[in-house]
Structures are given as structure tokens and as C-alpha cells.
Amino acid sequence: MNELKDLVVVITGSGKGLGKGDAEICYAEGAMVVTWDRSGLAKGVADSLDPSGKRTLYVRADVREEDQVARAFAEIMKKFGRVDVLVNNAGISRHKPLEEMSLELFEEVMKTNVTGIFLCCRAVAPIMKKQGRGKIVNIASLGGRTGRPGVGVNYAASKAAVIAITQTLARELGPSGIYVNAIAPGPILTEQTRQYPPEVFAKWNAGRAVEKDGLPEDVGASVVFLASKRSDWVTGVTLDLNGGILIR
């Protein structure tokens, strides 16, 4: 425990699902946690973790909007004075077959999943450079590695872009002491995926090497590792968490 003691960890899209799980495990590991979303759900997560608000902060902002991202980081700096870890978790999926997918739907996913990460990374980079240290963890997906059942071209393209952004920024920001890595989860049991019939979830897991289902805490444990000093020689890596689906 206390792998992240006194570190300021910012988690976008942390009102539910993987982001909520990341916030809970980072807080349990001693971090000061900033929850962030555009819906307001993440405020409840912050309040439940620390009703006093001493070790948590909620910011309501849309990662797609440049001015809102700037304001969010200004709020964070006002309260905590630093950002040690940024977890770019905010993302959406809008699955449609190619011929049924509108340009608007394609661009909606790209703007949240790609532009949002770009804006957050660009905003946090000068903060971390001034500190001389920082860690960025981008949440990609198995869908960005390979075509899978139920993965639309918009989502797949956006998550492949997340991996490319991770590799490029690791090179660019590494000399400033900033580590940039990604996590590419396979199917994870969350509030959203539990709404699908079991046979659909099983189809997504085709080729898995182990019986165990992926859970939010599996992703959270990897976030903690990449955010902690234990990963201080790891950068530009995409950690695949999929129960062995990609084994060849």
C-alpha cells in the first residue's frame, strides 16, 4: 500500500467504469485524487472517497474543449500546486458498421478519444516539465491493436491513435523526466458491459487464454504500477491486459 503516497493523480472520465475504479485504487494507495468528467458523476466519486475534500478534488470539464481543459488544470494547480500523474481515461464508443456510420459519428469518437488526450497532454506538459518529473497513462484498447467483434472503425482508429500518441510523447517528453505509457484493456466487466448478454461478452473474449474475466481493478493495478516509482525505467510502452487474447 501507499505506492502513490502524496502524489497528485488526475483521472479524466472518472465518474464510472474504469475511471472510477482507477480513482478508488489510487486513493487507497495514498494519492490525492482529482476526479474529472463532464456529467457530474465524478463528483460523487470524489465525495465518497474523502468527504472532507482534503485529498480529493472534482473538476467538471469536457476534455474536447480547449478552454475547459485549461480551466480544469488551473483549478487543480490552485488546490494542489502540482500534477504528478495524469490518467487519460475519458473516452466513448459508438459502434456502427462502416456503411451505417456517419461522418459526424466518426468525428465524435475521434474528438473525445484523440483530441481530448492531446489537449490534456499539452496542458499538463509544462506543469510536469517545471516539476522535472511526471507520469502520463493513456487508456487505449485491444480494439486499437486488432479488429475485434463489435469494434467500430471510429473506435479502433481512435485507440490506435492513442498508442501512437503515447510512443511519440514518450520520446518528446522523456528528456524532461516525463514518462508516457498506455494500457490497452481487453473486455472488462463494468456497469456498461454487464448490460450485454453473456454470450456477447463471451464473443468479445474469443481466444482468451485464461478463464478469469477482466475487472476494473485489473486495470487499476496497472495504473498504479505505471504511476509509481516501480516503473521508473518504463516509457513508451503499451501494456496489453486481455487475458491472453493476443497470444500468437
Tens digits of residue pLDDT in 203-214: 888 889 998 989
Q: Is residue 248 one of the residues assigned to a domain?
A: no
Q: Is residue 63 one of the residues assigned to a domain?
A: yes
Closest CA to 46 of 79, 82, 91: 79
Q: Is residue 246 one of the residues assigned to a domain?
A: no
Tens digits of residue pLDDT in 49-72: 999 999 999 999 999 999 999 999
Residue recorded with cell 484498447:
141
pLDDT at residue 194 above 90? Answer: no
Q: Is residue 3 one of the residues assigned to a domain?
A: no
Tens digits of residue pLDDT in 151-175: 899 999 999 999 999 999 999 999 9
Q: Is residue 45 one of the residues assigned to a domain?
A: yes
Q: Is residue 1 one of the residues assigned to a domain?
A: no
pLDDT in the model for residue 191: 79
Which residues does residue 238 pair with via DSSP β-bridges, in sequence order? Answer: 182
Domain range enclosing 217: 8-241
pLDDT at residue 248 above 80? Answer: no
Residue recorded with cell 481543459:
69
| Rounded average pLDDT over 76-81 | 98
| Rounded average pLDDT over 9-14 | 98
Q: How far is CA 164 from the centre of its chain?
A: 15
Q: Which member of 27, 58, 155, 179 is catalytic?
A: 155
Mean pLDDT (the chain) is: 95
For the sheet containing 56-60, what is the strand order?
Answer: 56-60, 32-37, 8-12, 85-88, 134-139, 178-185, 238-241
pLDDT in the model for residue 121: 98
Give per-residue burial for 126-149: e unless 16+ CB within 10 Å, then b: ebbeeeeebbbbbbbbbbbbeebe
pLDDT in the model for residue 95: 86
- pTM listed for this prediction: 0.96
5: pLDDT confidence band, cut at 50, 70 and 90? very high
Cβ(191)–Cβ(17) under 8 Å?
yes
Is 179 an annotated catalytic residue?
no
Q: Is 60 helix (H, G, I), strand (E, B) or coil?
A: strand
Closest CA to 124 of 9, 32, 243, 244: 9
Tens digits of residue pLDDT in 135-152: 999 999 999 998 776 789
Number of domains forming the structure of the chain: 1
Q: Is residue 125 one of the residues assigned to a domain?
A: yes
Decide which of 75 and 193 is more confident. 75
Q: Is residue 193 one of the residues assigned to a domain?
A: yes
| CATH number of the domain within which 79 lies | 3.40.50.720
